[in-house]
Structures are given as structure tokens and as C-alpha cells.
């Protein structure tokens, strides 16, 4: 498996590995008036173990290395703003592997508390994801721990793609899947699962967390500034090469939304559906509700609500 390409066969292999341990995504039709003349389904992936889609990729990576005898005694080291670390901690506990996580000091307390409850060794480093990543690399080099990644790893992305495969099984004639993008793991896995079937993937980012959108403009991954209400989960400074390459496919569409639109979508999900998701998970819905993405007549759309590790007190 190349570090810069994943295919549907990689997603299928991940599904064989993790399907008996992850929760199958629930897919439900949205209100008929969500978008005029375009049927919409909501994929409730925020109900996944660990509170986000990232449990799929973390478990795929953990089980792969255990199956192949390549899991070191020091277990896994990972840097994350929260969700990927929670997923790694859950997967490690489920598979009996040690997990050490590095998170920025700015990570939400609700996520740090969850990490510790899952038994992870939590280490706070720096103020942004890049600082935590540097610390995780140094730790892995010093101890021999297996260095995982929040999104830029083929096993992580392939695991994330199993959610999209489950959506297509439940809505076989789906036309479009909309996903939020940080570093691009969910987008890459979704694209690998959907493009072979002619299904479009809309990649939605905050205007000030636009790593994928900027990569497309620059003809390759480039560093971006991060400043958004959703930066705790979508705050990657650089998109993966895998996600960038898949985003150049004609079936991919890049859309930007404002923080105001994200907040409004998150509030609407709560007010009208009693669904409490984090800001990053509301980004894909924001593109639809704000009109930043305008569906074709009769376009059948699935919106992935990918995470719920949030403090609901501000809803």
C-alpha cells in the first residue's frame, strides 16, 4: 500500500479487519425541506466508538500491525488535537496495545479528559498540532513506539473510508457524499470508496482552515494558517498528499464555509434534530444549509456528521 495512494481494495481490506468491532453508521433521511428538490441523508458517524469516525482508521492500523507482528512493545505514539488521539486510545484499549498521545495545550478539556479515561498516557505539548506532532516523532524515535498519524497514513485513510462504503450499501443510488476536511483522511478514504462508483465527494473546509483548498490552488500541499471555530478538529496546517491527489479528480469538489455558517449549522442540527456535534462535524452541513454547495435537481446527497466530542453547553 503506497503512502500516497489508496484504492477501494484498501478500503475493503480495512472493512474486513474492523467491521466486527466498529459501529455500522446509521443513515437517516433528513427533512424533505432541507434542500428543495434534492433528497438528503444524514450519516450519524458521531455515534461511533470514541465519538468520531477516526475509530475506524485507528483500529485498522492497530489490528494490521498486530496481525503482521509489527506492533512494538512501546505500542503506538500519536499527535492529535483530540479526536484521532481518542480513537487511538480506544483502539489500543480494545486491542491491548499501549498508546501515548501528544496534544496541544489548546485541546478542549472534554477531549483530554476522555483520553485519560481511556487509559492513554497524555502529554501536552505546544499550542498547535505541529508542536504535538514534533514531540510525538521525537518520542517514537527515542522509544521505538509505532508512530501513527492523525490522518496522513494509508491505513488510517482506508479505515475512514469504511464509513462511506457503509453509506453506499444503505443508499445504493447515492450521487454525492459531503465530508468535512482537516488533514484529509476522511476525504481520502471516502473518495477511494466512492469514485469507482461514480459518486461525487464534496470536501468542505472552514475559510481559515483550508489546507485542501489551498493545495488545489498551489498545485500541491502547502502550509496554511489555522484560525477557525472548528480548528480543534479541522486545524491541519497541510493536507496529505493522498487527499490532494484524489481531490484533483473531476468527481471531487472543494467548498469553503465561514465560521458563522458552521455555528449556524451546528445550532440548526441541535434545534431541529437534537443532534449535538462539534463544530468541525457541522462544516459539511453548513455547506448545504448556507448554499455554498448548490445541488442539482434530484441530486441524492449524504452528509457525514463525523464527530461529537464537544461541550454542548454553548448550543
- Percent of the chain past pLDDT 70, that is, above it, reads 98
What is the pLDDT averaged over residues 135-156? 92
Q: Return the higher-pLDDT residue of 313 and 301.
A: 301
Nearest partner of 269 among 299, 228, 234, 312, judged by Cα: 312
pTM of the model: 0.91
Mean of per-residue pLDDT scores for the chain: 92
| Half-sphere exposure of residue 278: CA atoms within 13 angstroms, side-chain side | 28
Torsion of CA 154, 159, 164, 170, to 10 degrees: 150
Q: How confident is the model at residue 314 (pLDDT cuts 50, 70, 90)?
A: confident
Amino acid at each position: 500500500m503506497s503512502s500516497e495512494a489508496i484504492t477501494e481494495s484498501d478500503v475493503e481490506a480495512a472493512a474486513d479487519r474492523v467491521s466486527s468491532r466498529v459501529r455500522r453508521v446509521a443513515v437517516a433521511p433528513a427533512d424533505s425541506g432541507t434542500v428543495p428538490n434534492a433528497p438528503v441523508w444524514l450519516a450519524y458517524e458521531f455515534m461511533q466508538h470514541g465519538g468520531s469516525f477516526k475509530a475506524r482508521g485507528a483500529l485498522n492500523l492497530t489490528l494490521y500491525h498486530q496481525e503482521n507482528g509489527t506492533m512494538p512493545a512501546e505500542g503506538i505514539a500519536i499527535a492529535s488535537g483530540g479526536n484521532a488521539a481518542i480513537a487511538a486510545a480506544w483502539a489500543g484499549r480494545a486491542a491491548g496495545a499501549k498508546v501515548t498521545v501528544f496534544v496541544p495545550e489548546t485541546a478542549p478539556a472534554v477531549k483530554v479528559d476522555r483520553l485519560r479515561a481511556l487509559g492513554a498516557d497524555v502529554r501536552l505539548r505546544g499550542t498547535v498540532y505541529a508542536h504535538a506532532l514534533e514531540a510525538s516523532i521525537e518520542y517514537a524515535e527515542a522509544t521505538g513506539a509505532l508512530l501513527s498519524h492523525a490522518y496522513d497514513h494509508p491505513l488510517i485513510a482506508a479505515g475512514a473510508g469504511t464509513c462511506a462504503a457503509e453509506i453506499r450499501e444503505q443508499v445504493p443510488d447515492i450521487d454525492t457524499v459531503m465530508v468535512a476536511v482537516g488533514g484529509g483522511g476522511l476525504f481520502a478514504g471516502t473518495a477511494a470508496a466512492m469514485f469507482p462508483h461514480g459518486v461525487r465527494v464534496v470536501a468542505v473546509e472552514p475559510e481559515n482552515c483550508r489546507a485542501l483548498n489551498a493545495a488545489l490552488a498551489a498545485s500541491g500541499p502547502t502550509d496554511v494558517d489555522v484560525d477557525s471555530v472548528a480548528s480543534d478538529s479541522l486545524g491541519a496546517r497541510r493536507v496529505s498528499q493522498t487527499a490532494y491527489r484524489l481531490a484533483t479528480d473531476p468527481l471531487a469538489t472543494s467548498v469553503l464555509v465561514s465560521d458563522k455558517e458552521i455555528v449556524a449549522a451546528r445550532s440548526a442540527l441541535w434545534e431541529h434534530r437534537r443532534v449535538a456535534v462539534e463544530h468541525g462535524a457541522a462544516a459539511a452541513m453548513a455547506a448545504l444549509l448556507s448554499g455554498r454547495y448548490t445541488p442539482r435537481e434530484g441530486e441524492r446527497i449524504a452528509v457525514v456528521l463525523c464527530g461529537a466530542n464537544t461541550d454542548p453547553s454553548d448550543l
